[in-house]
Amino acid sequence: MIEVAGLRKTYGNFAAVVDSTFSVGEGEVFGIVGPNGAGKTTTLKVLSGLVEPTAGEVTVAGFDSGNPEMRHRLGFLPEESPLYEEMTPRSYLRFFADLYDVPSDVADDRIEATLDRLRLDHRERRLGDMSKGMKRKVAIARSLVNDPDVLVYDEPASGLDPVTTDSVLQFTRELRDAGKTVVFSAHNLYHVESVCDRVVVMNEGRIVARGSVDGIRERHGETTYHVFSDVAPNRTDALADIADADGPAARTEEVGDRFRTAVPTMTAVEAVREAVTAAGGEVVDIRTREPSLEDVFLDIVGRPMPGRYTAGTDGVPSDDESTDDETDGGRVSGEPEGAK
Ligand SMILES: Nc1ncnc2c1ncn2[C@@H]1O[C@H](COP(=O)(O)OP(=O)(O)OP(=O)(O)O)[C@@H](O)[C@H]1O
């Protein structure tokens, strides 16, 4: 449904997006995550035809981005969406439906059904008197007045209370169930984990990881094993060797009336068991702790990245000098494109 190949967007000599390639299948919720300034909004604006790419191919529903027909097939929800304060949700949504030439009876039914699904009451209240959550719901409803196949949502749930956030996330899942394709950017990685089928992680204009949330976690995150025992393990040589070879040294902490030793591998778990036995105790529980997308994200975006400026400016490194394929920061890894 969406194909992006070699997308680049520069402002002057600054690259907001560098060589971005991804595709999104029909009926998929696709997440774009990354720290401030990573290039998420720029990517979404290019998809929506609001910003012209400097280089690369972008097609949405088979049309080049920016093609007027493509705009009819797409609904965009910007991060900030000021509404006409004097209008009511109904009059505001009718106004946008008219812009899209939606017949009035179809528009009325569609608007009421969408507001029902979003559980938005007070449909005749002035927009200027509505809460932030209500306004966001109206903006979401606006993205749907033309019944688009593709929705591009920039931070749909940011700044909303937990109940409204939940209803927006649930609504996004319902859009997918109705066959819509949704591209979704968010800072809150819990939102992404709970809604997206696949994600790309962007950092400094580049895609640095991609795949399913679980896949990214498996590839980039490390499981930690927590071994609980009734006495602290002896610091045996075996344990020290394994800890040295396998990563961070085994750490033991007192937790209530137990001791918890965190280790990075199953082999190290066995070494802890032996060390506990050597100390006259026994292992009472072993638990695994999977990394959250947030752990992985912090790890990935903490890596060094090539520069974003083109050559000739104050000695700032050129993108052309970057070793995209070799640095962790610039590496693109994961599932083949189109995998779902
Ligand atoms: N019109 C513009 N002119 C110059 N620079 C721009 C323009 N739009 C965006 N940028 C820059 O491009 C970079 C990427 O911006 P973008 O808004 O896409 O990031 P983002 O990942 O959405 O960030 P945030 O999470 O803070 O919204 C930023 O450094 C931004 O300052």
Mark which of 195, 218, 241 sits at the end of a domain: 218
Cα of 143 from ligand 1 centre, angstroms? 22
Cα of 318 from ligand 1 centre, angstroms? 19
Q: What is the mean pLDDT of the chain?
A: 82
Residue 317 has pLDDT above 60, yes or no: no
State the total domains in the chain: 2
Give the model's pLDDT for residue 135: 92
With a 6 Å cutoff on the Cβ, whether 16 touches ligand 1 is yes
> For residue 262, what is the domain's CATH number?
3.30.70
Instruction: Report, as an integer, the average pLDDT of 82-90.
Output: 89
Determine the residue of 18, 20, 33, 40 to mutate for testing ligand 1's pocket, defined as the one with the most ligand atoms within 8 A of the Cβ atom.
40
Residue 312 has pLDDT above 50, yes or no: no
Q: Distance between CA atoms of 99 and 288, rounded to whole angstroms?
A: 54
Ligand 1 atom nearest to CA at 187: 25
Domain enclosing residue 49, as ranges = 2-73+148-218
Which has the higher per-residue pLDDT, 338 or 305?
305
In a domain? residue 121: no
Mark which of 218, 242, 257 sits at the end of a domain: 218
Ligand 1 atom nearest to CA at 34: 21
Q: Tell me: do 22 and 65 sit in the same domain.
A: yes
Cα of 205 from ligand 1 centre, angstroms? 9
Length of the chain: 340
With a 6 Å cutoff on the Cβ, whether 38 touches ligand 1 is yes
- Which of 94-108, 230-244, 250-264, 298-312 has the largest mean confidence? 94-108
In a domain? residue 127: no
Cα of 206 from ligand 1 centre, angstroms? 13
Residue 314 has pLDDT above 80, yes or no: no
Q: Distance between CA atoms of 196 and 176, rounded to whole angstroms?
A: 10
Instruction: Report, as an integer, the average pLDDT of 73-77.
Output: 93
- Which of 98-107, 207-216, 221-230, 296-305 has the largest mean confidence? 98-107
Give the model's pLDDT for residue 337: 35
Q: Tell me: do 212 and 227 sit in the same domain.
A: no
Q: Tell me: do 58 and 159 sit in the same domain.
A: yes
In a domain? residue 194: yes
pLDDT digits (tens, 9 = 90+) for 140-199: 999 999 999 999 999 988 778 888 888 888 999 999 999 999 999 988 777 888 889 899
pTM of the entire predicted model: 0.75
In a domain? residue 315: no
286 φ, ψ to 5°? -135, 130
Ligand 1 atom nearest to CA at 79: 27
Q: Tell me: do 24 and 52 sit in the same domain.
A: yes
Mark which of 164, 183, 218 sits at the end of a domain: 218
> Where do runs of H (alpha helix) occur along the chain?
40-47, 68-72, 89-99, 104-117, 132-142, 162-177, 189-195, 213-220, 237-246, 266-278, 293-301
Give the model's pLDDT for residue 297: 77
With a 6 Å cutoff on the Cβ, whether 37 touches ligand 1 is yes
